[in-house]
Structure formats: structure tokens, C-alpha cells
Amino acid sequence: MVKRQRTAFPPNFVHSLDGSHMMMTAVACKKQGLYFAGVHDSYWTHACDVDTMNKILREKFVELYDAPILENLLESFETSFPKLKFPPLPERGNFDMKDVLQSTYFFN
């Protein structure tokens, strides 16, 4: 059972981030008066609002992933399981997350 939990955690964590991005996008679309629907990684709005939604979903992606997600996760694990030793986090690369704002094919 422990092995199954260990191997299930990474994809489940990534799916939770996908869900967080969708929820952040949905909330921001509602604030802008846009209709929004979505399933997993497919987002919908009226055709006349697609450009606005695309801008919002990029902004929310940057907002989400500019946060120290892995650092916060490690800190939470270390607090919850003080007797366990966790491996160090990988170094952050040099990708500028704000490049997503101008990426034509980021989310299509």
C-alpha cells in the first residue's frame, strides 16, 4: 500500500495544480463577467470572450507557478513528519514564467 501511495502522489499533486489553475481562472472569469466552463484541461467560454479568457488563464498560470509551491510542500511535509528525512528540492531553472503571457500556443 505504501508503494502505491508513493507512486500515486506525484500525478495526483500535478492534477491538483491543474485543478487550482482552473479554479483560479474560473473565479477571475466570473469577476470579469465571462461565462466559463471546463473539464480537466479544456476551458470554454463564448467565442466573443475567448481572447479575454486566454489572457486571464495565462495570468492565473503565472500567479500560481510563481509561488514557491514545492518549497511550501516540503515545509508542510517536514512539519507534519518531523522524523522523516526528505530529499532536497531540485534547483529552479531560469525560465521566466512571465514568458507565458506572450506565448501564442501556451494553452490552445
Report the alpha-carbon distance of residue 5 to residue 1 in Å, rounded: 6
41 as an active site residue: the answer is yes
Asked if residue 107 is part of any domain, the answer here is no
Asked if residue 108 is part of any domain, the answer here is no
Does the pTM exceed 0.85?
A: yes
DSSP 8-53: HHHHHHHHHHHHHHHHHHHHHHHHTT---EEETTEEE--GGGHHHH
Q: Which residue has the cell 507565458?
A: 100
Total domain count, the chain: 1
Of 107 and 78, the structure prediction assigns the larger pLDDT to 78
List the domain range (segments joined by +) for residue 30: 2-102
Asked if residue 28 is part of any domain, the answer here is yes
Q: Which of 41, 51, 66, 99 is catalytic?
A: 41
Each residue's pLDDT tens digit, 41-84: 899 999 999 999 999 999 999 999 999 999 999 999 999 999 99
**Is residue 3 predicted with pLDDT exceeding 90?**
no
Asked if residue 56 is part of any domain, the answer here is yes
CATH number of the domain that residue 58 is part of: 3.30.70.370
Asked if residue 19 is part of any domain, the answer here is yes
**Is residue 108 predicted with pLDDT exceeding 80?**
no
Each residue's pLDDT tens digit, 7-42: 899 999 999 999 999 999 999 999 999 999 999 889
Average pLDDT, the chain: 94
Asked if residue 52 is part of any domain, the answer here is yes
